[in-house]
Amino acid sequence: MYKAQLVIYEEEHRLLTEVCEKLLRDSMARAIFLVDKVGQLVTSCGQTENIDTTSLASLVAGATAATGGLAELLGENEFPAHYHQGERDSLYIALVGTELILTVVFDNRSTEGLVRLRVKRAGRELDTIFSDMNEKAASTAATSSGLFAEITDEDIENLFSDTF
Q: Is this structure's pTM higher than 0.75?
A: yes
The DSSP H or E segment spanning 93 is: strand 90-96
CATH number of 10-143: 3.30.450.30
How far is residue 120 from each of residues 61, 116, 152, measured CA to CA in Å?
19, 6, 50
- Give the domain ranges of the chain: 10-143
- DSSP letters along 60-79, please? HHHHHHHHHHHHHHTT-S--
The DSSP H or E segment spanning 156 is: helix 153-160
- Residues 129 and 23: beta-carbon distance below 8 Å: no
Per-residue pLDDT of the chain (164 residues; tens, 9 = 90+): 445 566 788 999 999 999 999 999 999 999 999 999 999 999 999 999 999 999 999 999 999 999 999 999 999 999 999 999 999 999 999 999 888 999 999 999 999 999 999 999 999 999 999 888 878 777 765 555 555 566 677 766 776 776 55
Q: Which residues contact 134 (CB under 8 A, 6 or more apart)?
A: none
Q: What's the pLDDT score for residue 140? A: 66
Residue 89 phi, psi dihedral angles, 5° rounding:
-120, 155
